[in-house]
Amino acid sequence: MEAFSFYNPTKILFGKKQIAGLGIQMHRDGIKHCILIAGGGSIRNNGAYQQVIESLDQAGIQHIEAWGVQANPRLDKTRQIIQQAKESGTEAVLAVGGGSVIDTAKAVAAGVYLKDIWNAFIRKETIKEALPLYTVLTISATGSEMNGNAVITNMETRQKWGISSTHIYPRLSIIDPSLQSTLTFRQTANGAMDAIAHILEFYFANEEALTTLAINEALLRTIVDMTDRLQKDAYDYTARANLALSATLALNGLSGMGLAGGDWGCHGIEHACSALHPEIAHGEGLGVIVPTWIEYLGEKYPSRFLRWAKAMWHEDSISSAICRFRDKLQSWGLASSLRDLGIKEGELNTLLDLIMQNPSLGGVFKLNKEEVRLLLMLAF
Amino acid sequence: MEAFSFYNPTKILFGKKQIAGLGIQMHRDGIKHCILIAGGGSIRNNGAYQQVIESLDQAGIQHIEAWGVQANPRLDKTRQIIQQAKESGTEAVLAVGGGSVIDTAKAVAAGVYLKDIWNAFIRKETIKEALPLYTVLTISATGSEMNGNAVITNMETRQKWGISSTHIYPRLSIIDPSLQSTLTFRQTANGAMDAIAHILEFYFANEEALTTLAINEALLRTIVDMTDRLQKDAYDYTARANLALSATLALNGLSGMGLAGGDWGCHGIEHACSALHPEIAHGEGLGVIVPTWIEYLGEKYPSRFLRWAKAMWHEDSISSAICRFRDKLQSWGLASSLRDLGIKEGELNTLLDLIMQNPSLGGVFKLNKEEVRLLLMLAF
């Protein structure tokens, strides 16, 4: 098993009505003013916004608001909120929303201390401090509520890149799964696929991390089963809660213990897809890329992929397991090809160039340009 | 699923030769002097002590040493080390050893700020601060390397009681599984049984925490499989590493997510056994109590216990699963009755009185005195 380090200081409050604890914790941390960052307004419909405001008010914490973060969150919006945070002299950042809102909030928390936040993404500036960050999660998918990563898209350069720092772990994240009952099944399934992809980016990296592989199989099976249940009943709280918990654990460090940092080839490819077409949901994009990636690499490294075929799908061959995986994603209504996602054949070269801007595609299974081209053809 | 909170700020360095990172981290934290706490001297034989001293020296960190912590660590020794720590004006506590050494170190870290450390155990004083704590683990069992709990025995009152505080989480714990190759198989198996018991204290508490139950099954299976491998080959690093990681995860908060804080009835009973007979290894004591506890409660709450029978032992009845469990522990050479542990029939009443001093035996499955008496008879 590979050596590894693990550190995750984020506190989690999990369950119904846990938002009530938000103001209490911020007050305990000495926060008197924060900037609340949100998306398009769904948090007014699912009840999160009202509960947050009530909790802040009761604790005597003042706030300003920054709305309008979109899916595949953008650099220009992030810069604008950083400016707002700086001008207000706020003491903390509060994200109320999904992964896009939380990632933006992380970039804001770090960005108030940098010349320009994009410098951190292109490794020109280092994150040395950040405002304390609090989050209230409203869709389980990215795992951003319990890690130190953020991904932002620079629309000028079409780069969807990431930062990673111990300074941007949320201090506290509140996960009330009941807030997610009003999501469409498509949103739920995209989130589930994102979590599945996070686990699979790690899963094939090392055959000897038996504890972590067994945990990852437990998470993968739970995610699939709970998503099936939610397709039948969006208000199934047990399914909602277990999907939420699994998605958080899929990318909080646990799923990668002893797995060499993971591969992240699928994310590299998908990020280029949704940088080119920001209307592509990250999870749905991964639903096309991940099975194709397994198909491509399964032939080269059969033993690593066979364990997955057996443990997840009770299949003795990788190809049968991939069929079962694709059938499952299709039964959830996800796209099954790049074409389905709205990518045109004439864009494949641009896509390939965007993907290969990333100098090290695949931390475990290195892919060169010709291999990625083949993979894109398979996925098209 | 029950609401829960999770917080675990301990940093883990896991793998061969990771002790080299100890001095670096302590130096980064501004530590110039620490008190090194250890047991009877096994750390001189497994190489841990030499590596620790080298790492401290390279980082320019001075230290004093306190040796002689025993299994089932004692209050008088703890008080003595607290005195030594106070007199030296040290800035940090460094535990090098197993759970007993780490638990003692936690009590020392908190104790320097209290009138008397036992007051924290009997809830007369509250732990409000503690010296920063670092640990180097040499036997995987208690999980103390990644939690905020400590158990100490007061030999005068025969009370083996615990404290729990966010202030006594280790800042950094180093787990180098290769240090454990020199353990006897008996020590390894006792450690494995301790970890199994930690998971089972949570496992039966709630049937809807499906994510956690699946993770716990992954951990239980891995612990059993790795222990079997180590019985054949003590130097099987993959088995050693995966047993170590599973034991840490068995009691770092993960295994209890959504499980109502766990039951802890088995620990309550075993603590009384080893308070009465300090020569009883905690893990071996649990190996007698846990199967009997499942036998007793399995009849009352069949559905909760059936999941365990099927998932862990592929058995359709609880009684067959208990047989398989007991056979496994016996194949590892563990005791199978209180009598085997050296407890005399005439001591059962004293034992019962000690157990019932604990006002709330069983957080989930409450047991009254008559029930505990029956359970002891079954276990005898």
φ/ψ of B129, rounded to 5, equals -160, 165
Pairwise CB contact (< 8 Å): A219 & B214: yes
In angstroms, the separation between the Cα of residue A19 and the nearest Cα of chain B is: 12
The pair of three-digit structure tokens given for residue B254, joined into one six-digit string: 């993960």
Amino acid at A81: I
The pair of three-digit structure tokens given for residue B98, joined into one six-digit string: 């197993």
**How many whole angstroms separate alpha carbon A10 and alpha carbon A226?**
25
Beta bridge partners of B150: B163
Full set of structural domains in chain B with CATH: 11-178 (3.40.50.1970), 185-379 (1.20.1090.10)
φ/ψ of A288, rounded to 5, equals -85, -45
Question: So what's the pLDDT on residue A69?
Answer: 97
Chain B residues in contact with A249 by the CB 8 A cut-off are: 211, 215, 254
Amino acid at A28: R
By the 8 A CB rule, do A117 and A82 touch? yes
Please report, for residues A23, A42, A320, the alpha-carbon distance to residue A50 in angstroms, rounded to integers and kept in the order given.
13, 12, 48
By the 8 A CB rule, do A8 and B7 touch? no
Q: Residues in chain A with pLDDT < 50?
A: none
Amino acid at A240: R
**Residue in A50, A74, A53 with CA at minimum distance from that of residue A62:** A53
Which residue from B1, B4, B16 is facing A3, i.e. has the nearest CB?
B16
Strand order in the sheet with A4-6: A4-6, B11-14, B172-175, B133-137, B92-97, B33-37, B62-66
- Cα dihedral A251/B214/B304/B208 (nearest 10): 30
Residue B129 has pLDDT above 90, yes or no: yes
Tell me the pLDDT tens digit for each residue of B43-52: 999 999 999 9
Looking at chain A, which residue has its C-alpha nearest residue B311?
A: A218
Regarding beta strands A159-164 and A4-6, do their DSSP bridges make them parallel or antiparallel, or are they unpaired?
unpaired
Regarding beta strands B159-164 and B149-154, do their DSSP bridges make them parallel or antiparallel, or are they unpaired?
antiparallel
Is the CB of A301 inside 8 Å of chain B's CB atoms? no
Question: So what's the pLDDT on residue B357?
Answer: 86
The pair of three-digit structure tokens given for residue A345, joined into one six-digit string: 């054949």
- Cα dihedral A66/A71/A74/A76 (nearest 10): -40
3-state secondary structure chain B: CCCEEECCCCEEEECCCCCHHHHHHHHHCCCCEEEEECCCCHHHHCCHHHHHHHHHHHCCCEEEEECCCCCCCEHHHHHHHHHHHHHHCCCEEEEEECHHHHHHHHHHHHHCCCCCCHHHHCCCCCCCCCCCEEEEECCCCCCHHHCCEEEEEECCCCEEEEEECHHHCCCEEEECHHHHHHCCHHHHHHHHHHHHHHHHHHHCCCCCCHHHHHHHHHHHHHHHHHHHHHHHCCCCHHHHHHHHHHHHHCCCCHHHCCCCCCCCHHHHHHHHHHHHCCCCCHHHHHHHHHHHHHHHHHCCCHHHHHHHHHHHHCCCCHHHHHHHHHHHHHHCCCCCCCCCCCCCHHHHHHHHHHHHCCCCCCCCCCCCHHHHHHHHHHHC
- Token pair 């995987």 is at which residue? B140
The pair of three-digit structure tokens given for residue B207, joined into one six-digit string: 């049937």
Chain A residues in contact with B208 by the CB 8 A cut-off are: 238, 241-242
- Token pair 């009681």 is at which residue? B161
Question: So what's the pLDDT on residue B18?
Answer: 98
Pairwise CB contact (< 8 Å): A209 & B242: yes
Pairwise CB contact (< 8 Å): A16 & B3: yes
Chain A residues in contact with B24 by the CB 8 A cut-off are: none
- Token pair 């608001």 is at which residue? A65
Helix axes B302-313, B282-298, angle to 10 degrees: 120
A128 three-state secondary structure: coil
Pairwise CB contact (< 8 Å): A15 & B4: yes
Is the CB of A241 inside 8 Å of chain B's CB atoms? yes
Residue B5 has pLDDT above 80, yes or no: yes
The pair of three-digit structure tokens given for residue B62, joined into one six-digit string: 């001075």
Is the CB of A18 inside 8 Å of chain B's CB atoms? yes
By the 8 A CB rule, do B244 and B175 touch? yes
The residue among A2, A5, A240 with the most chain B CBs within 10 A of its CB, best to mutate, is: A5
Would you say the ipTM is above 0.95? Answer: yes
Tell me the pLDDT tens digit for each residue of A173-205: 999 999 999 999 999 999 999 999 999 999 999
Question: So what's the pLDDT on residue B278?
Answer: 87
Kindly report the average pLDDT of chain B as a whole number.
96
**Residue in B101, B180, B90 with CA at minimum distance from that of residue B135:** B101
Beta bridge partners of A34: A63, A92
Question: So what's the pLDDT on residue A358?
Answer: 74
Question: In which band, very low, low, confident or very high, does the pLDDT at B275 lie, cut at 50, 70 and 90?
Answer: confident
The pair of three-digit structure tokens given for residue A141, joined into one six-digit string: 């998918």
Looking at chain A, which residue has its C-alpha nearest residue B2?
A: A15
**How many whole angstroms separate alpha carbon A42 and alpha carbon A159?**
27
Q: Is A145 exposed, middle or buried (0-12, 13-18, 19+ CB in 10 A)?
A: buried
Half-sphere exposure of A75 (CA within 13 A, CB side): 19
Question: So what's the pLDDT on residue A49?
Answer: 98
A271 three-state secondary structure: helix
Question: In which band, very low, low, confident or very high, does the pLDDT at B304 lie, cut at 50, 70 and 90?
Answer: confident
Pairwise CB contact (< 8 Å): A222 & B210: yes
Looking at chain A, which residue has its C-alpha nearest residue B176?
A: A3
Please report, for residues A222, B10, B171, the alpha-carbon distance to residue B130 in angstroms, rounded to integers and kept in the order given.
39, 14, 11
